[in-house]
Amino acid sequence: MKKATIVTLALVLVLAASTFASAANYIGGGIGIIPSVSSTAEDGSWVGKLPALTLAVDFDVMDKLSVSANGYIKIVEKVAPTTETATRYGANFLVGGYAKYALANLDALKLGAVVGANYDSKFLKPAEEPAVNYGAGVFAEQPLGDTGTIFGQVMYWVKAADEAPVTDHIGGLGGINFRITDKIAVKGQVEYISKQPLFSIGVGYTF
């Protein structure tokens, strides 16, 4: 009986896995868990407790060239002048874009170079003015058969604090994406930038 149950479960898992297909082109949104990012005003407000919203786009331009972009948006309670009684709200955000070119394909493992830029509008650093940063690095992508793709990249960001050690310039991201139907995909990602971890999970349209 136990053997039959195990075989049945194995067949169900195989059949379920066979319904997945790798998600190449993707556009979607989700939520972000940002441990060290809070509202610029009152951390105890209900707004400060809301998770960040996330956006993500992946697109294969050609066989070896692909582009991607992702963003985080955090609703915050703004500090209002003392003469005002109404609460004011705004949005802090971080957006990044990348271009990747595959240089090698090792038994389906894709390796290559990546360049990118990001714009931080008081999301990671609420006390500082909005700023652009740019960098370059390497990436890797490993298909999981027909179930999806594991991806990752390491970046060297040009701008950092004055006299900052080399480690302050290093960032990266990694995650997994896969289709759950022909048109719906799920994407989970962790990113490390400006010495801060960013976690996100979302769902979107794949094509």
Give DSSP secondary structure letters for 31-93.
EEE-TT---SS-TTSTGGGSPEEEEEEEEE-SSSEEEEEEEEEEEEEE---TT--S-EEEEEE
Structurally, the chain folds into a number of domains equal to 1
CATH number at residue 15: 2.40.160
Mean pLDDT, range 125-140, rounded to an integer: 92
Residue-wise pLDDT tens digits, 143-167: 887 778 999 999 999 987 667 788 8
pLDDT of res. 39:
43
Mean pLDDT, range 175-200, rounded to an integer: 91
Say which range, 31-35, 130-134, 138-142, has the weakest mean pLDDT: 31-35
pLDDT of res. 99:
97
The rounded distance, in Å, linking the Cα atoms of 77 and 39 is 7
Tell which wins on pLDDT, 160 or 20: 160
Domain range for 66 is: 2-206
pLDDT of res. 151:
96
